[in-house]
Homo-oligomer: A and B are copies of this chain.
């Protein structure tokens, strides 16, 4: 994600639409917010993590259970749980040797549902 800032040569087209561009620029949220938003969706953008989140929405589970449920290694699941935790989407509690994970956000299901709506509409259209 090389983000070299570089002056852009405006084409004639821009001169015509200058007003619109200015207005849009004003209305856009600040850079950092948009970046954070992308980072959040990036976390949702992996099917393993989507599965984990969906599972945890159904029930609190330990790492080992999740691994069995998804037919993955304990290590792979653990790595992904770390990503989810850093994004404040899941939390955990220790009970002896076992660590139980659960959702730490009420919007997860709502975000899922919005996404699902989009997908299902597309399927209907075909």
Q: Which residue numbers of A lie inside 8 Å of B, CB to CB?
A: 5-8, 10-11, 13-14, 17, 20-21, 23-25, 27-29, 33-47, 49-51, 54-55, 58-59, 61-62, 64-65, 67-69, 71-74, 88, 97-98, 105, 107, 110-112, 114-119, 122
Could you list 12 A-B pairs, sorted by A, with CB under 8 Å? Answer: A8-B68, A20-B59, A23-B59, A28-B55, A33-B116, A37-B119, A38-B47, A40-B115, A42-B46, A88-B122, A105-B118, A114-B114
User: Which 9 interchain pairs have the tightest Cβ spacing?
Assistant: A42-B45, A41-B44, A38-B47, A45-B45, A41-B45, A13-B64, A24-B58, A111-B114, A38-B50
Q: Which residues of B have CB within 8 Å of A98?
A: 13
Not counting A17-B65, A37-B116, a sample of 11 additional A-B residue pairs whose C-beta atoms are within 8 angstroms of each other reads A13-B65, A13-B97, A13-B98, A20-B59, A24-B58, A28-B58, A38-B47, A38-B50, A39-B45, A41-B45, A107-B117
How many monomers of this chain does the complex have? 2
Q: Which residues of B have CB within 8 Å of A59?
A: 20, 23-24
